[in-house]
């Protein structure tokens, strides 16, 4: 059954089961790890890459239980699995996981997050701009206000995560400007985002990671962002 739906190279998201249950109860953000299918060993076990964050390996424990979501070409699939082994093979760090539940098709409420490194300009919105947003009037940006440079590290149809030397307050609304490829040309996107969370990076004091949700984003712009993500993911699959 596994080989019927999953193939080598498919992207995986993993969440620790115990942590996921606890965080679901507390309504907090849960940690998500990213991996790929290396090989299918049997109809209930497979090799996957060990997750990494930036350049650091995440040593998930043997016997740890995880919720797995597979991103295939046709659909998303979910199951529970247990790590039964981990080792290094051909300069790659591998986890062997054994399914502990049946594979099922998965309908996801969240948007897929695409890892990237995109330059972005941002600033806090001014009082007049906030008032226009509250009144659902067209946003007219005040000219010549200082803009802070930052880097988007992942983007989705629902929001983005970025790194900046500027710290923006949680729940504040900020102006974000960045460029994405649309066809053969770059297109500038100017969006409003609500800061959901901010934290200072442990290894880079004075640098802050922000999670932002788009605020009142129009349907066309959201669809263009999602299309960009799908196109970039398709290119990545071809390279792999």
pTM: 0.57
Domain extents in the chain: 2-105, 114-239
Distance CA 44, CA 239 (A): 28
CA dist., res. 79 & res. 69, Å (int): 7
Alpha carbon distance 172, 182 (integer Å)? 29
User: Is 3.40.630.30 the CATH classification of the domain at 2-105?
Assistant: no
pLDDT on residue 104? 86
pLDDT tens digits for range 65-114:
999 999 887 788 889 999 999 999 988 999 999 999 888 887 655 577 88
**Sequence-distant contacts of 96-99: CB under 8 A, at least 24 apart:** 96/41, 96/45, 96/46, 96/47, 97/45, 97/46, 97/47, 97/48, 97/66, 97/68, 98/44, 98/45, 99/2, 99/44, 99/45
As a whole number of angstroms, the longest Cα–Cα distance in the chain is: 61
Helix (H) or strand (E) holding 77: strand 76-89
Percent over 70 (pLDDT), the chain: 90
- For domain 114-239, the question of CATH label 3.40.630.10 is answered with no
- At residue 113, the 3 state secondary structure works out as coil
| pLDDT for the residue 3 | 86
The CA distance from 48 to 6, in Å, is: 12
- Convert 73-101 to b/e letters by CB count within 10 Å (16 or more is b): eeeebbbebbbeebeeeeeeebbbbebee
Q: Which of 19-23, 46-50, 121-125 has the lowest mean pLDDT?
A: 19-23
């Amino acid at each position: 059954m596994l080989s019927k739906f999953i193939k080598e190279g498919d992207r995986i998201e993993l969440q620790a089961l115990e942590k996921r249950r606890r965080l679901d109860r507390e309504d907090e953000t849960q940690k998500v790890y990213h991996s790929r299918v290396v090989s299918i060993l049997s109809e209930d076990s497979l090799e996957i890459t060990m997750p990494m964050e930036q350049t650091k390996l995440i040593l998930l424990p043997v016997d740890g239980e995880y919720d797995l979501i597979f991103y295939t070409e046709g659909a998303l699939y979910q199951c529970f699995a247990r790590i039964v082994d981990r080792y290094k093979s051909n300069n790659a760090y591998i986890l062997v996981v054994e399914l502990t539940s049946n594979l099922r098709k998965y309908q996801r409420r969240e948007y897929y997050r695409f890892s990237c490194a995109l330059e972005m300009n941002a600033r806090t919105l001014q009082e007049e701009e906030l008032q226009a947003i509250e009144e659902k009037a067209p946003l007219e940006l005040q000219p010549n206000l200082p803009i802070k440079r930052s880097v988007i590290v992942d983007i989705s149809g629902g929001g983005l995560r970025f790194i900046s030397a500027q710290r923006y307050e949680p729940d504040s609304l900020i102006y974000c400007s960045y460029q994405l490829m649309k066809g053969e040309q770059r297109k500038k996107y100017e969006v409003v985002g609500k800061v959901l969370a901010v934290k200072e990076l442990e290894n880079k004091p004075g640098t802050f990671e922000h999670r932002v949700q788009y605020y009142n984003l129009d349907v066309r712009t959201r669809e263009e962002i999602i299309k960009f993500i799908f196109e970039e993911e398709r290119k990545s699959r071809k390279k792999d």
